[in-house]
Structure 1
Amino acid sequence: MSPRTPRHRRSRKALALGLPLAVTAAGALTYGLFGAGTQPKASAATASVPAWATATADGFASVDALGQKGTYGGRGGQIVTVKTLADLEKYATASEPYIIVVAAAITMDPVGKEIKVQSNKTIIGSGTSGQIVGGGFFLGQGVHNVIIRNLTIRDAYQGEWNDKEHDYDGIQMDGAHHVWIDHNDIRHMADGLIDSRKDTTYLTVSWNKLSQENKAFGIGWTDNVTADLTLHHNWIRETEQRNPSTDNVAHAHLYNNFLEDVAGTDIKSSYGNYSRGKTNMLLENSYFQGMNNPVIRDSTATLVQRGNLFSGTSGRNESGGTGASWDPKSYYGYTLDKAADVPALLKSGAGPRSSLGTSANSTKAATTLTVAQDGSGQYRTVQAAVDAVPANNPSRVVIAVKPGTYRETVKVPANKPHVTVQGTGGSRKDTVIVYNNAAGTKKPDGSGTYGTGGSATVAVEADDFQARNLSIANDFDEGAHQDIAQQAVALRTSADKVFLDGVIVSGDQDTLLLDTAAKEKLGRVYMTNSYVVGNVDFIFGRATAVIDRSVITLKKRWDGTSAGFVTAPSTAANRKGILITDSTVNGGVSDRSFYLGRPWHAGGDASLDPQTTVRNTTLSAAIKSTPWTDMSGFSWKDDRFAEYKNTGAGAGAASGDRPQLTDAQAAQQEVADWLGDWTPAAS
């Protein structure tokens, strides 16, 4: 590329990643490149952990709040398999994190027993064999970060339909937070199937079957209006009331649920979704079949309906209220299924899955190759380890690189997918891959110069590549080589599904080239928990790329001056470009000296439609008040450049020179919109 020419902190879906517990617990980055704390070692064993053991919640359970960063349960803790009540209770009530696999039908003794689950637990059924019979679980005040998945919880029923004596619930929560209840079959209990009480919040209930019960799901038992919860893709059938009943909930988001009253049975619904007290409920794209009073609200409550379908229903079907409108996408990302598709979708997809909680769902254990300069590993260079990966390898190969500075270039060719290059030191600064080629550097064989792409220290051409816990740098000395082209790439990617986690990518001009294998091909990159350092067009290319929760550090030029451009996208038409979100842009440069970006029409290609969106990001005073500029005769105003809710001294109000997304536009420019059907996960 030519150098001259709020109350809640949102947790995005792409953050709902399967990262090791130690990495997640480390929390947000300490801004400032060398002020970052050390990063815990990520062992090669992480790569062989089943996907269900690293799953994270969506909805309100994914939101960072109350000192908890989303909901990931016992991830990172020991995986234990239990078949007895004694073992289940032992691990569920322990203080340390566990992933507890229930591999048998466990009968509660006495009947109605509710195990008092402690924080940081995943309790998951093994396929369809995990069952809790005659009792359930209790999550008390302050218990948090709990996942209950893939279980059948059943048969505490004591013969009294409207049972006032036996408080035997499937799952009861009193004052808990950050809980995910997913893919369970809960039925035929004595009181209720699920109770969310006493300010329980940051709760997501998804893909469950709730049935054969008087009271399906009660929410509330509080005068406070503080709780936030998400209910989606649940099949609620043959239940009379509390489907759910939602009392005094600040934000209740219900979508894509299927409420069914089957004709000709003894169980008759008295009502469906109920917004009570001062609840503010948003009800979207759900399907109601045969329900009496399918949607009701108190006069004090708010209930907004969008896109719901009703078949054979009768009685009250209400909406309205005076509560403030709110958008779930200001808290988390989600995608609605069509309401008409919901019955078939849930009949096939709700409840326990044979693929969860079993070794069958585990990926093949990763092959691990070790690299160490001192000869203590299998290879002395990273490239030698890459060369040892078999062509067209079908499963993950982890290249574990011991601390040190590796002065070499590395290329991962297109026929070697599923490669992870991972530093094993305590910090991402401990393992450094560095070289100093530039675009104008002559090749040793005399065949010309490297060019911009060829100058990369690390070049990734293989899909499903991951890098973590290391630094990649280009230390080309611009001052000493003013006679040649200055572009000097540290990392070049030209592949799809590239996941960069906990890395430092540093250089000067053209540091990070995010490309695709061809103009017509998709190339997605997700970078998180990382740093990018540079000055001129130092994040550039035609990839569909997300830089999330990271630090972009602006660097002075070789002569001590401050001037540069953060991004130079060359996005193909009808594709997403570069998205920078929930990050920080800073650095020791002069105020108002850097642009956020300019449009790179590579080769003068007028068909390109470059895009950069910078949103929810802290901008230092280094950013110009008119943050976009033209390039090589192409006006930035003809392409796609925008901001949304940025903060800091470098942020500014909307103007003709500083376009801002509307809320509606921003809802279509989320991490999930960029990544599509790919959810990056550590492997």
Structure 2
Amino acid sequence: MPSPSRRALLTASAGALLSLGLAAAPASARPAGPFGRFGSPSARLTERTLYVHPGGLGDHTTVQAAVTAASGSGWTLVLAPGTYRETVAVSPARTDMTWLGAGEDPRDVVVVYDNAAGTTRPDGGTYGTSGSATTTVQADGFTARGITFANDFLRTDLPGNPGTQAVAIKVQGDRSAFFHCRFLGHQDTLYADSMSLAAVARQFFAHCYVEGDVDFVFGRARAVFEHCHFRTLLRPDLAAAPHGFVFAPSTARGNPYGYLATRCRVTSEAPDAFYKLARPWVPSSDTTAWPSLVVRDSVLGPGIDAVAPYANMREAYPWQAQRFAEYRNTGPGAEVTVPENRPQLTPDEAESATRSTYLGDWNLTPVRA
């Protein structure tokens, strides 16, 4: 008989499958094996399910091969525990795709590569920031649960090269959701973006873990982070502060909402006050950008500089001119010591800083911890 913790896991997994719209059999009725509670190729969750196993026990041995085979809409990929060292791209045509990690923990299923912006491509030139992404998702309706997305490039891999941006995942599609996932990198870990300036890409991250150092959550998506843990890393190459910045939104001016972090926490490996909470990114491709960030009801650890939590990326676009605000945050890094350095929402303003306001009519099923 399963232990209480295992029983709770099975129950939560069954509920998660139902919330994702999958017609799955009860976990106890599915075969044991490398795909755990998600069954096996002989007992599929749906007719449009593909199983990925690095040792050849599924339909495909790589994630990209499964994505390529999943032509059209509505496919589910079940990833067996293992490390998938590859780059993966989900094209716009592969809408409503779901990836399920078949491990008991997101650490069990890892999609990782080590390209950086300054890495030389096989055909010459360099990848650039966007091209460095381990995983790129351009399709609408993408969902992932229980997976680690990583870029394990290190600055020492390209000594003296300024192209140290190394993206773990770039998400551009609308209605993109990630539950209990991990995002690992250093600079530019999680690129929450959109397909164009005019496109609104709504994205939802729940109970996720994100780590990095410089601008490690960045882009122009309309993204909500709920119950997420952001971890700032120690930088051995730097002795003085700041070591980096958690958020760097580049919200298009016409988009009323950018990033919202609610009921999250920020911790740090670095010394106290060595990190800024955010800085605005106004890219050369959109000099009219008006970065937007709200952090509310969250716990900010001592790693965040409470005196001056925001900084400029470019002097021409000061952070004070952007849409940055906080509300009811707690912790040493949230202390309001210099009020003009920490814009606060009023209670009336906070009423619209919610998941439902940001995500609109997207019928997103709430996910419990």
- TM-score range (shorter-chain normalised) is 0.7 to 0.9
* Greater fraction strand: 1
Q: Write the distance in 1 (CA, Å) between the matches of 2:250 and 2:111.
A: 27
CA displacement 1:586-636 (0-9 Å, x = unmatched): 021110111111110010733111011110000001111211111212101
Note if contact 1:652-1:658 (Cα within 8 Å) is conserved in structure 2.
no
Q: Write the distance in 1 (CA, Å) between the matches of 2:154 and 2:322.
A: 34
The residue that corresponds to 2:244 in the other structure is 564
Gaps of 5+ in 2: 1-6, 29-44
Name the amino acid aligned to 2:318: S
- 1:639 counterpart (290, 301, 322): 322
Note if contact 1:48-1:366 (Cα within 8 Å) is conserved in structure 2.
no
Which runs of 4 or more aligned residues in structure 1 lie more than 3 Å from their structure 2 counterparts after TM superposition?
21-26, 40-50
CA displacement 1:348-404 (0-9 Å, x = unmatched): xxxxxxxxxxxxxxxx946110000111000000000000011x32xx211000000
The residue that corresponds to 2:259 in the other structure is 578
Q: Secondary structure at the match of 1:656?
A: helix
Answer yes or no: is 1:416 the counterpart of 2:94. yes
Note if contact 2:235-2:270 (Cα within 8 Å) is conserved in structure 1.
no
Which structure 2 residues correspond to residues 407-486 of structure 1 after superposition, within 5 A? 407-446=85-124, 448-484=125-161, 485-486=163-164
Note if contact 1:479-1:558 (Cα within 8 Å) is conserved in structure 2.
no
The residue that corresponds to 2:54 in the other structure is 373
Q: Write the distance in 1 (CA, Å) between the matches of 2:50 and 2:155.
A: 35
Q: C-alpha displacement at 1:558, in angstroms?
A: 4.7
Name the amino acid aligned to 2:185: G
- 2:289 counterpart (603, 608, 615): 608
Q: RMSD value over aligned CA atoms? A: 2.5
The residue that corresponds to 1:659 in the other structure is 343
Q: C-alpha displacement at 1:557, in angstroms?
A: 2.1
Q: Secondary structure at the match of 1:453?
A: helix
Q: C-alpha displacement at 1:480, in angstroms?
A: 2.8
Which structure 2 residues correspond to residues 488-503 of structure 1 after superposition, within 5 A? 488-503=166-181
Q: Write the distance in 1 (CA, Å) between the matches of 2:213 and 2:14.
A: 30
The residue that corresponds to 1:123 in the other structure is none
Q: How many residues align?
A: 337
The residue that corresponds to 2:194 in the other structure is 516
Q: Secondary structure at the match of 1:602?
A: coil
CA displacement 1:157-198 (0-9 Å, x = unmatched): xxxxxxxxxxxxxxxxxxxxxxxxxxxxxxxxxxxxxxxxxx
Name the amino acid aligned to 1:646: N
Q: Write the distance in 1 (CA, Å) between the matches of 2:9 and 2:362.
A: 21
Q: Normalising to structure 2: TM-score of the pair?
A: 0.86
Note if contact 1:437-1:456 (Cα within 8 Å) is conserved in structure 2.
yes
Change (3 A) 1:651 1:573: same
Note if contact 2:10-2:27 (Cα within 8 Å) is conserved in structure 1.
no
The residue that corresponds to 1:628 in the other structure is 310
CA displacement 1:539-562 (0-9 Å, x = unmatched): 000000011101001112252646
Q: Normalising to structure 1: TM-score of the pair?
A: 0.47
Which structure 2 residues correspond to residues 20-35 of structure 1 after superposition, within 5 A? none
Answer yes or no: is 1:401 the counterpart of 2:79. yes
Q: Write the distance in 2 (CA, Å) between the matches of 1:458 and 1:639.
A: 30
The residue that corresponds to 2:362 in the other structure is 678
Q: Write the distance in 2 (CA, Å) between the matches of 1:678 and 1:646.
A: 27
Note if contact 2:231-2:266 (Cα within 8 Å) is conserved in structure 1.
yes
> Of the two, which has the highest radius of gyration?
1
Change (3 A) 1:42 1:369: farther
